[in-house]
Amino acid sequence: MLTNTDVMKFLTAWELLHETADEGLKAAIARGEQTTQGQMASDRGAFVDGLAAMIDAKKEVLKDELTNGTDASLTEEDSPAIQAVTELRFEVAELRGRLESMGAALDAIAAKL
């Protein structure tokens, strides 16, 4: 039987996983900001870091556009990225819904105990 301790361990591990991934991405972005295009072409690690930095820069532009309510700088090239973000939002919303459902079920189980 699943206990509250098991659920807490799972959620703690989940949070730790995401925190570790976030820190890894931040480190890759920092390294990528120092990467030249020549390094990106010859080194896989440098390519990944450089790509992370480029995506981060685009993310900041998108944040500004969303904040200001404009999308004038978006181009046809950005369309797949926008579509990917839209799909990601959908998946996150689905995950959030499932977590809320799990929370409600756990609350119901706890109330019966």
pLDDT tens per residue, range 7-54:
888 888 889 888 888 888 899 899 988 887 788 878 888 888 888 888
Separation between Cα atoms, residue 57 and residue 66, nearest integer Å: 14
In the prediction, which pLDDT does 71 show? 57
Cα separation, 43 vs 4, whole angstroms: 46
User: How far is the C-alpha of 16 from the C-alpha of 82, rounded, in Å?
Assistant: 28
Residue 96 pLDDT = 87
* Residue labelled with tokens 């990917």: 84
Give the single-character DSSP code of 77: G
CB neighbourhood size of 46 (10 A): 19
CA 81 vs. chain centroid, Å, equals 14
- pLDDT value at residue 102: 87
pLDDT above 60 (res 97):
yes
Q: What is the pLDDT of residue 86?
A: 80
Taking only the tens place, the pLDDT of each residue in 75-89 is 555 667 777 778 888
pLDDT attached to residue 70:
62
pLDDT value at position 109? 87
Tally of CB atoms within 10 A around 11? 13
The per-residue pLDDT for 74 is 54
**pTM assigned to the model:** 0.47
